[in-house]
C-alpha cells in the first residue's frame, strides 16, 4: 500500500537525487568516447540543419590537441622522474669524496685532519693572510700567503694550532684578508667538504648532498668535485 500524507501520495513528490559512490574507475574522456559522442551527434542531427564541416573539424582538432597535451604532460612527468633517478645514481658516486663549496666553514672530523680550499681573488692581492678561528671566535693559527695573482688561490691548513697541537673535532672559520689596489679587504673563500651521503629531495630542490658535520647542500651549489 502506498503511503498517503494528508490525502497526497508521497510517491508523487519530487525525490532528491542520490549522489553515486565513486568506484575509482577512469573518469576521463578518451578518444574512443569522443568519436562515439560525435557519431551520436551526427546520427541525431536535424536533417534540415546538418552539422557544419568546419565546426566538426574544430571539435576534432580541439579534442586532439587537449589529448595530445595531456599525454605530453605525462611523458614529461615520467622524464623528470627518470632524470632525478639518474642524477641520484650519479651523485651516489660522490660519497666519500670532497666537493668545493663557497663559504668559510671548514670541518675536522678526526684529529690531525686538514682543511683545504681556495681564496677567491678577482685582482692580484698583496700581504694575503689566512686566519683560522675556532667556534668561539679565537684565532688559533695564521697563515701568511704573501702576494698572489688574481684567481683561485689554494690553501691547506694542517689542522694544528700555532704550537703544532692537533685541533679537536668541530667547525672552524677560515678568513682571508689582504691588500687590493692599496686597500685592506676581506676576500671570499671556498672550502672542501667531504660527502657523507646523498638524498633525493623534491623536484624543486633536486639532489641534496649531506656533508660531514651535519650540513646539507644542493648539488648545484658544488663548484668543484675532488681536491
Q: Which secondary-structure segment (H or E) carries 197?
A: strand 189-200
Query: What's the CA gap between 15 and 9, in Å, rounded?
Result: 13
CATH of the domain at 146: 2.60.40.4070
- Reported as a single tens digit per residue, the pLDDT across 184-195 is 999 999 999 999
Residue the block writes with cell 650540513: 215
Is the residue at 175 inside a domain?
yes
Is the residue at 9 inside a domain?
no
- DSSP-H helix ranges across 44-126: 53-91
Query: What's the CA gap between 15 and 13, in Å, rounded?
Result: 6
Which of residues 30 and 177 earns the better pLDDT score?
177
Q: Which secondary-structure segment (H or E) carries 113?
A: none
Number of Cβ within 10 Å of residue 175's Cβ equals 16
Query: What's the CA gap between 216 and 82, in Å, rounded?
Result: 23
The answer to whether residues 193 and 218 belong to one domain is yes
Q: How confident is the model at residue 3 (pLDDT cuts 50, 70, 90)?
A: very low
The answer to whether residues 52 and 65 belong to one domain is yes
Cα separation of the two ends of the chain: 93
The answer to whether residues 85 and 100 belong to one domain is no
Domain count, the chain: 2
The answer to whether residues 157 and 78 belong to one domain is no
Is the residue at 45 inside a domain?
yes
The answer to whether residues 78 and 136 belong to one domain is no
Grid coordinates representing 24 are: 575509482
The answer to whether residues 112 and 173 belong to one domain is yes
Is the residue at 212 inside a domain?
yes
The answer to whether residues 60 and 111 belong to one domain is no
Q: Which pLDDT does position 33 carry in this prediction?
A: 65
- The alpha carbon of 74 is separated from its chain's Cα centroid by a whole number of angstroms, namely 20
Is the residue at 185 inside a domain?
yes
- Reported as a single tens digit per residue, the pLDDT across 55-89 is 665 666 666 676 667 666 666 565 555 556 666 66
Grid coordinates representing 35 are: 568519436
157 beta partners? 115
Q: How confident is the model at residue 131 (pLDDT cuts 50, 70, 90)?
A: very high
Among residues 125, 128, 134, 140, the alpha carbon closest in space to that of 176 is found at: 128
Using the predicted structure, report yes or no on whether residue 217 has a pLDDT greater than 80: yes
Residue 225 CA: distances (Å) to CA of 54, 90, 191:
60, 13, 11
Among residues 188, 186, 222, 193, the alpha carbon closest in space to that of 207 is found at: 222
The answer to whether residues 82 and 102 belong to one domain is no
- High-pLDDT (> 70) share of the chain, %: 59
Q: Which secondary-structure segment (H or E) carries 144?
A: strand 139-148
Q: Which pLDDT does position 2 carry in this prediction?
A: 47
Containing domain of residue 193, as a range?
A: 96-225
Which of residues 130 and 20 earns the better pLDDT score?
130
The answer to whether residues 73 and 101 belong to one domain is no
139 beta partners? 133
- Reported as a single tens digit per residue, the pLDDT across 96-111 is 899 999 999 999 999 8
Going by the DSSP 8-state scheme, the letter that residue 206 receives in this structure is: -
Which of residues 113 and 26 earns the better pLDDT score?
113
The answer to whether residues 76 and 142 belong to one domain is no
Which of residues 112 and 84 earns the better pLDDT score?
112
Q: How confident is the model at residue 203 (pLDDT cuts 50, 70, 90)?
A: low
Least confident interval from 64-68, 163-167, 222-226: 64-68
Last residue of a domain, one of 68, 91, 114: 91
Query: What's the CA gap between 69 and 62, in Å, rounded?
Result: 11
Amino acid at each position: 500500500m502506498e503511503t498517503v500524507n494528508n490525502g497526497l501520495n508521497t510517491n508523487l513528490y519530487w525525490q532528491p537525487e542520490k549522489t553515486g559512490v565513486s568506484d575509482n574507475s577512469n573518469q576521463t574522456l578518451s578518444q574512443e568516447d569522443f568519436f562515439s559522442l560525435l557519431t551520436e551527434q551526427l546520427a541525431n542531427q536535424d536533417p534540415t540543419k546538418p552539422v557544419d564541416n568546419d565546426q566538426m573539424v574544430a571539435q576534432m582538432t580541439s579534442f586532439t590537441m587537449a589529448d595530445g597535451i595531456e599525454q605530453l604532460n605525462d611523458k614529461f612527468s615520467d622524464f623528470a622522474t627518470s632524470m632525478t633517478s639518474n642524477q641520484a645514481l650519479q651523485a651516489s658516486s660522490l660519497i666519500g669524496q670532497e666537493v668545493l663549496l663557497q663559504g668559510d666553514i671548514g670541518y675536522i672530523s678526526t684529529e690531525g685532519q686538514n682543511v683545504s680550499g681556495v681564496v677567491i681573488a678577482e685582482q692580484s692581492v698583496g700581504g694575503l693572510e689566512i686566519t683560522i678561528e675556532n667556534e668561539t671566535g679565537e684565532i688559533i693559527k695564521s697563515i701568511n700567503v704573501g702576494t698572489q695573482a688574481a684567481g683561485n688561490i689554494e690553501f691547506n691548513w694542517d689542522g694544528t694550532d700555532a704550537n703544532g697541537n692537533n685541533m679537536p673535532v668541530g667547525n672552524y672559520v677560515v678568513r682571508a684578508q689582504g691588500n687590493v689596489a692599496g686597500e685592506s679587504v676581506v676576500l671570499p673563500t671556498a672550502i672542501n667538504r667531504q660527502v657523507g651521503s646523498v638524498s633525493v629531495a623534491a623536484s624543486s630542490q633536486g639532489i641534496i648532498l649531506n656533508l660531514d658535520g651535519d650540513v646539507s647542500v644542493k648539488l648545484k651549489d658544488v663548484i668543484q668535485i675532488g681536491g
